[in-house]
Amino acid sequence: MRYIEAAGPQPARIVWSASDLKAAAECEFAWLRAIDAKLGRVPAVDEPDDPTLERAGRLGTQHELRVLERYRETHPGTVVEIPETRSADATAMDAAVTATVRALGDPAASVVYQAAFATGEFVGFADFLLRGDDGRWIVQDTKLARHARVTALMQLAAYVDQLDRLGIARADEVELLLGDGTTSVHRVADLMPVFTLRRERLRALIADRDLAAGASGTPIAWGDDLGALHVVACGRCATCDLEVVGQRDLLLVAGMRPVQRERMRAGGVDTIDALAAASAPPEGLGAEVWESLRTQARLQLASEQQQTDGASRPPAPAYEVVSAAALGALPRPDHGDLFFDFEGDPLYTEHAGGANVWGIDYLFGWVDTREQYSALWAHTFADEKRALEQFVDLIELRRRTHSGLHIYHYAPYEPTHLLQMAARHGTREAEVDRLLREGVFVDLYPIVRRALRVGSRSYSIKKLEPLYMGDDLRTSDVQRGDDSIVRYVEARAAADDGDDAAAAAILDDLAEYNRDDCVSTLRLRDWLVARARDAGLYPARDVTPEETPYEPSPTSVALSRRATDAAALTSPDDPDVRALALAAAAIDYYPREAKTFWAGHFLRLREPVSLWEQTRDVVVVDAARSRVVTDWHRG
């Protein structure tokens, strides 16, 4: 987005780009505030540094350049590359647009890279325009994502709109060149109606800002939906968060959903302080939900007071046990219990099976009840497969001497990724399924959410640590999961450069961070058990499951083994190896799909409804607000 001041008869205007369609779709309030900042009405809000996002941007650029290099090879001498241009440089922009129009009209050109478009209100650069077999131009955009997103499709539609404006023949479909090597194809006719609506919405938002008033105009206020415009704020971005904190908004309350916030605001409750002091729920909000959120607000205010009293280290947040019975879901402690945590890099990729495969869990870490730490490292997918097999085999062996052991973790990442890993590598699927089915993995997060209210805006395990870590609060240089990923990438780069000492030092620091997470999980489990005993409850015995376990067919196992052996002799991309692997996967396709469905179902049964009620594949029926019209299940 660029603000151009009035000049002579030309009024002031905002020039937007395809990326502004995405920005406005994500948070209209922040986008309008950005306009106000350009007009001098409010200070600009900078997004916090995000090393992971920056790395994704670099990888996205590399992906784009790989596509460009491929086109240079497949279309030698016919790729027109428009020089990189700053949109604020009017002279250079005019030259880039002229070069683009010339290239699109040149019958010898087959690919145009960074095609430039500009009008009085729009400026943009299309990644690629590819001439189809029929001579019409196909708009293409490279995205590191593995799936098409609506915002990306709107960017493609913006460039289609520019081709139509210029009267240049274009294809009826657009293409996203995704990070996994696949191409996502979409009909222009499906996209343009939505694009037209989004463009008109953008124009309406710009018109509301009264550009002619300049710095003396009124900036959009937090909570003002601008009447008929119904401006939407995401409540999560840096711009919104600044207002949420400054205005003491209800979104400060942990677990507050937008629909609940709106009902409270309609009832005259619009701050965390007002909620904590309120006595009756507003219309449309159930008493149980109301009481839960009010308790949460009250405890957060109590914790704030503790923080202002001045302490040498973070004080323990206020908390209350609101459902002692939920603590009874904790299994009986066992000397064989383990406390487990993954570290993973979602942007790691390898080329396998004719496609780019993304995401690796590079560190399997756990401690036992004596806080003895063990770890398995995985720097490649082959390493990950071996680590998975070693970890699962270790658990199976340990269960022979500790039949009552459980593996504790915080949030569902660990079992979810074990399932994905077993399916990806075609190994230990039955064993992982059995561990999950028999309840060996215990997620402490839903137990915390059911049983407790903690005076913290976040329920991440690091925010809970002052409750139970005492003097052992972590001091590692690595403090967040995304920090861990960035440091891991630095370690691998150092190893590739031959600096093994630097790589080892970083990995040691990452292992310390991972151990801290595992120890934290152990201490949290012990603290929860103590709270259960305070309430006169004792951990429950395991119930033997009655479901039929998933077992891969012998034929599938044999084919998978043959594929692994053949890959070691040739290559994972060898056609025979791929055929064997596909056959092995196809044989157990339906049992595996059913297993995934039921794994998700039983996971939801163990979690509070509030954690999954808004997922797209679930319908929650509120018995208190429903009635039976017809007993459809009866004959």
Asked if residue 216 lies in contact with residue 223, where contact means CB atoms within 8 angstroms, the answer is no
Residue 575 has pLDDT above 90, yes or no: no
Distances (CA, A) of 338 to 134, 154, 374, 542, 607: 62, 48, 10, 16, 21
The torsion defined by the Cα of 608, 612, 614 and 619, in degrees rounded to 10, comes to -90
Q: Which two tokens stand for residue 459?
A: 């329920």
Residue 368 has pLDDT above 70, yes or no: yes
The predicted model gives 213-223 an average pLDDT of 94
The torsion defined by the Cα of 627, 633, 634 and 635, in degrees rounded to 10, comes to 140
* Residue 208 CB-density burial (10 A; 0-12 exposed, 13-18 middle, 19+ buried): middle
- Backbone torsion region of residue 185, taken as left when φ is above 0, otherwise alpha when ψ lies between -120 and 50, otherwise beta: beta
User: Residue 122: phi, psi to the nearest 5?
Assistant: -130, 145
Q: Which two tokens stand for residue 505?
A: 């030092």
Higher pLDDT, 573 or 376: 376
Asked if residue 405 lies in contact with residue 337, where contact means CB atoms within 8 angstroms, the answer is yes
The residues with which 344 forms a beta bridge, in sequence order, are 361
The C-alpha R_g of the chain, in whole angstroms, comes to 28
Residue 332 has pLDDT above 90, yes or no: yes
Asked if residue 133 lies in contact with residue 89, where contact means CB atoms within 8 angstroms, the answer is no
Instruction: Note the pLDDT tens digit of each residue in 369-409.
Output: 999 999 999 999 999 999 999 999 999 999 999 999 999 99
CA dist., res. 383 & res. 58, Å (int): 26
The torsion defined by the Cα of 118, 124, 130 and 135, in degrees rounded to 10, comes to -30
User: Residue 321: phi, psi to the nearest 5?
Assistant: -85, 115
Residue 12: what pLDDT? 92
Higher pLDDT, 618 or 79: 79
pLDDT band at 607 (very low <50, low <70, confident <90, very high): low
Higher pLDDT, 309 or 532: 532
Distances (CA, A) of 370 to 87, 367, 529, 634: 61, 7, 17, 55
Residue 621 has pLDDT above 90, yes or no: no
CA dist., res. 211 & res. 584, Å (int): 63
CA dist., res. 485 & res. 344, Å (int): 7
Residue 113: what pLDDT? 98
Nearest to 250 by CA among 231, 232, 271: 271
User: Residue 40: phi, psi to the nearest 5?
Assistant: 85, 15
Please state, for a pLDDT cut of 70, what percent of the chain lies above it. Answer: 90
Residue 600: what pLDDT? 66
Instruction: Note the pLDDT tens digit of each residue in 22-41.
Output: 999 999 999 999 999 999 99
Residue 574: what pLDDT? 79
Distances (CA, A) of 328 to 403, 520, 522, 601: 20, 21, 17, 21
The predicted model gives 568-585 an average pLDDT of 77
Nearest to 443 by CA among 599, 610, 329, 560: 329
Asked if residue 264 lies in contact with residue 282, where contact means CB atoms within 8 angstroms, the answer is yes
Who's near 575: CB < 8 A, 6+ residues apart?
Answer: none
CATH class of residue range 1-222: alpha beta
> Domain limits of the chain?
1-222, 238-318, 328-535, 550-634
CA dist., res. 567 & res. 615, Å (int): 39
The predicted model gives 92-112 an average pLDDT of 97
Residue 634: what pLDDT? 55
For the chain, the average pLDDT equals: 90
Residue 516: what pLDDT? 95
Residue 504: what pLDDT? 97
Instruction: Note the pLDDT tens digit of each residue in 157-208.
Output: 999 999 999 999 999 999 999 998 999 999 999 999 999 999 999 999 999 9
Residue 436: what pLDDT? 92
Whose tokens are 């077992």? That residue is 551
Who's near 173: CB < 8 A, 6+ residues apart?
Answer: 138, 185, 186, 187, 188
Classify residue 499 by its DSSP letter: -
Alpha helix stretches (DSSP H) within 139-187:
150-166
Can you give the length of the chain in residues?
635
Residue 477: what pLDDT? 52
| pTM of the full structure | 0.84
Residue 594: what pLDDT? 65
A 10 A CB-CB count for 408 gives 25
Asked if residue 348 lies in contact with residue 358, where contact means CB atoms within 8 angstroms, the answer is yes
Nearest to 448 by CA among 258, 608, 572: 608
Q: Which two tokens stand for residue 391?
A: 């970890």
Can you tell me whether residue 183 is helix, strand or coil?
strand
The predicted model gives 555-579 an average pLDDT of 76
Q: Which two tokens stand for residue 253?
A: 């309350």
Q: Which H, E and C letters describe 244-290, residue by residue?
A: HHHCCEHHHCCCCCHHHHHHHHHCCCCEHHHHHHCCCCCCCCCHHHH
Residue 449 has pLDDT above 80, yes or no: yes
Residue 604: what pLDDT? 66
Instruction: Note the pLDDT tens digit of each residue in 227-280.
Output: 889 999 999 999 999 999 999 999 999 999 999 999 999 999 999 999 999 999
User: Residue 262: phi, psi to the nearest 5?
Assistant: -65, -40
Residue 623 has pLDDT above 70, yes or no: no
CA dist., res. 261 & res. 266, Å (int): 9
